[in-house]
Structure 1
């Protein structure tokens, strides 16, 4: 657990840039349009271990973000990802499309997901709230099921930890004269 806390602390600190003197990575001020690959972890804790165990999944996807780096950073992102359940007896495959806005260290977003074990499936819409920034996200989402309310592998709560690991493309849109 200490390792997880250390990793979260590193990514939270690396995404801070409230003032240019406190930024860990001195970037040029301005607006950027970025395309990045991200990797993530999804977990669904259970309240009833008789029916199912905790769900754990690995996620790989693409973020398309407009990032504003000024005195107080902000970003807006849309993303598409694929998820695989790693601790279930059956293979669970998930497809996710979503969007998020981040200002300072706060994130609000919405995801549309579809999970299947190739015998049954569940489509959900999930509002999310979390902390992080453009390069890192720790969020909590509440799954509102649109279909298959009895799809057991997933609980109503989803915890997500995601971070950028590879920049595909970056374009500076504008810069500030300061």
Structure 2
């Protein structure tokens, strides 16, 4: 039953996780809470490790969650079931695109999904920030830092690496005094 639940949940995550791995994080969190496979702390650790490991974050997360839940077989089932919907969708969309030169409704539906993708990624970022204590050390300043740094990254042609270095320095300065 556990392996079937892993397959079903990760298939659904792969099917409805438009926008890539970060958009799938809220769906994964919901599944682990529903089935009590792992704790939220373990999930946060898995997301951190998956994000820093080579490869897609959704696939890495599925692998780690499946392994924590049911060993090597669980890892294989979680990864395969997470990738299967994308594989099937690409096959179907390729067939549709070869049949019609102007798939108007397909592109219109994808344009309607874009705002949801952004919302899911933002939700995942805020949830991870809350769970990891992002807003605790400088509760009154964090929202302003996030807003200002987001604007700087959008408007200026500055490397995110420099923004991270400056942010780390500001964090040290704020916490030192």
Normalised by the shorter chain, which TM-score bucket?
A: under 0.3
Whichever structure has more helix as a proportion of its residues is: 2
TM-score by length of 2: 0.25
| TM value normalised by structure 1 | 0.25
Which protein is bigger by CA-based radius of gyration?
2
